[in-house]
Amino acid sequence: MVLLVPVGAAVVWDLRTREIPDWIPLAILGWASLATAAGLHQVTWTGGVMGALLGLGLAGAVFYLGGLGGGDVKLLAAIGAAVGPAALLSILAWTAAAGAVLALVALARGQRRFAYGPAIAVGLLVEAVWPGGLAHVLLG
């Protein structure tokens, strides 16, 4: 739930400027590092690094294809560091679903580009409210 504050700030910035400032992912990385060092959450150092690399790799591939901005990639990598790879995969799936809805709305309005920060926030919020919910949906 702590991540909702900086991600909410990212949404506001993204909607206003179509950019996510670097300080937001850096703040998330700092919090994740402190939380891991202090044992405040279950993500280990290995899990944090794997989550960050997974977020960077998957979001980076979508960036390369033109589907995300650089700020979105950095934000998803930082979220991955904070939640670990398993939760990040669920967040990414919910984010993709929310992004598809936003893309349809943008197309209906005649727009080809839109801020993706809100979709990331929806993915994080769904995972925060219903942790592991996607696994229950997919695996029964």
- The CA distance from 126 to 55, in Å, is 17
Q: What is the full DSSP assignment across 47-73?
A: HHHHHHHHHHHHHHHHHHTTSS-HHHH
Give pLDDT tens digits for 67-124: 999 999 999 999 999 999 999 999 999 999 999 999 999 999 999 889 999 999 999 9
Give pLDDT tens digits for 68-79: 999 999 999 999
- Quick one: tokens of 13? 């910035």
